Amino acid sequence: MDQLNLNGRTSTVSASDVSEIDAVYEDKINKLAMLTSRGTVKWHTVDAASIPTLSFARVLTAYEASFGGEKLRLIETSYEKRSSHTGLDPFVGRGGLASLLPSARTSERQEIVLSLCLLDSNGQPVFTFSSDEAIYDLFNEIKKQQPDIDRFLRTIDAAVDTTEEQHKQTDK
């Protein structure tokens, strides 16, 4: 049993309760992905640099949408991950195990994490959903909703073709 702190109150939560809660979130996020694919929920890109994060993390992509009177944000974050040759695989940033064990050699890697949050009126996260797999499905639906790059490239080709045709007619 784990202790869960809810608004200053402590509550006991069992593993089965957490599993049920995760299943509910997964269902809701899947429905949100379906609404996104139907165009009911419209997402827009947000400047990733404007979103505060930890010193060993970098927001790569950020999207926001309004739905049901609430504002949502989905972010793709790259975390610096170090692994030591001592067999430990710590998730550390500055001041982590690498600083405690200076002789441990480390190599940097990145871990990409997606997170979906409800935001307050000031744009600050007030709730973060669990259910990683469903969030990845939602992320893919949001990416599909963004401007169609293939269509844009065809538009460039069409503009060049039109310009070339106009030059041929003026040369005659």
| pLDDT value of position 12 | 53
Taking the complete model, does pTM exceed 0.85, yes or no?
Answer: no
Least reliable range by pLDDT among 3-17, 39-53, 79-93: 3-17
Q: Which two tokens stand for residue 26?
A: 């997964």
Which domain does 23 fall in, by range? 2-171
pLDDT band at 112 (very low <50, low <70, confident <90, very high): confident
DSSP code of residue 50: G
For 55-82, write each residue's pLDDT tens digit: 888 899 999 999 999 999 999 988 887 6
Tokens of 88: 């430990």
Domain count, the chain: 1
Q: Locate tokens 């994060």: which residue?
A: 53
